Amino acid sequence: MLPKQNLKFNTFIFDKTDKLNMIDAWVDRWNDRYSTNEFAYGEQPNNYLKEQLMPLDVGTILFPAEGEGRNAVFAAKLGWEVSAFDISIEGKNKATQLAEKNKVSINYQVGELQDLGYKAEQFDAIALIYAHFPSAIKSIYHKTLSHYMRKGGLLIFEAFSKKHLDYIAKNEKVGGPKEIDMLFSIEEIKADFENYEILVLEEREIVLNEGLFHNGQGSVVRFIGRKK
């Protein structure tokens, strides 16, 4: 059984027409971004994910909001048993293409989290890399994802901080959401993952060079946590 918070998410999506329209618009946005021949964020893994993942013993790992598959494919090349999901069928198509190019296999699903059939404590690690969910559901998704992590499992997180709006104002090519409620603070991460030992939790300025849509200086929150 999923945590009670997920019941709110079901209501959020399925009980109100305006919310359904919002989800449809969200899907269309990402299908449009991923429908080109070029990879929106490149074919190489995120640097922070690469740095954190390479020293670990392999196991089972989940990549939420995985888009075109660059991080999932990298993990599979290291020997991880990889699951991933996104709302975009175009993202899955590109991820499948990238996996075939690299001669690896990933289990990639398209849909909403509560419909995908993941099980309690299924994963040894979860990687949330620029997984900016709509503001009304992001904490619910975080708590639900935590349900799928085994005790002692590792969460790897990098995403734009609330200060990132200042960087977008100077350079839109750095990318990222323009809605402050979709961005992250250290306090939000502590609240969403309160049952984790904090190994790393910081806000810092970095320089991104990822494909077409992440280029320039930005502000991110990084979190490495071990589930208690």
Q: What is the CATH number of the domain that holds 29?
A: 3.40.50.150
For the segment 163-173, the average pLDDT, to the nearest whole number, is 98
- The per-residue pLDDT for 26 is 79
Domain carrying residue 52? 5-37+45-227
> Tokens at residue 210, please?
């990822």
Local confidence band at 22 (pLDDT 50, 70, 90 cut-offs): low
71-119 pLDDT, tens per residue? 999 999 999 999 999 999 999 999 999 999 999 999 999 999 999 999 9
Contacts of 179 (CB under 8 A, 6+ apart): 135
Which band of pLDDT confidence, cut at 50, 70 and 90, is reported for residue 2? very low
In this structure, are residues 66 and 34 in contact, taking their beta carbons and an 8 Å threshold? no
Q: Which structure tokens are listed for 184?
A: 């992250």
> How far apart are the C-alpha atoms of 83 and 81, rounded to whole Å?
7
Q: Is the pLDDT of residue 7 over 90?
A: no
Q: How many domains does the chain have?
A: 1
What is the model's pLDDT at position 8? Answer: 38
* ∠ Cα 168 159 11 (to 5°): 105
- Return d(Cα 115, Cα 64) in angstroms, integer: 13
Beta carbons within 10 angstroms of residue 156's beta carbon: 24
The neighbouring-strand residues paired with 159 are 221
Closest alpha carbon to 95 in 118, 124, 67? 67
Beta strands at 214-227 and 196-210: parallel, antiparallel or unpaired: antiparallel
When pLDDT is cut at 50, 70 and 90, the band that residue 23 belongs to is: confident
180: its two tokens: 């402050």
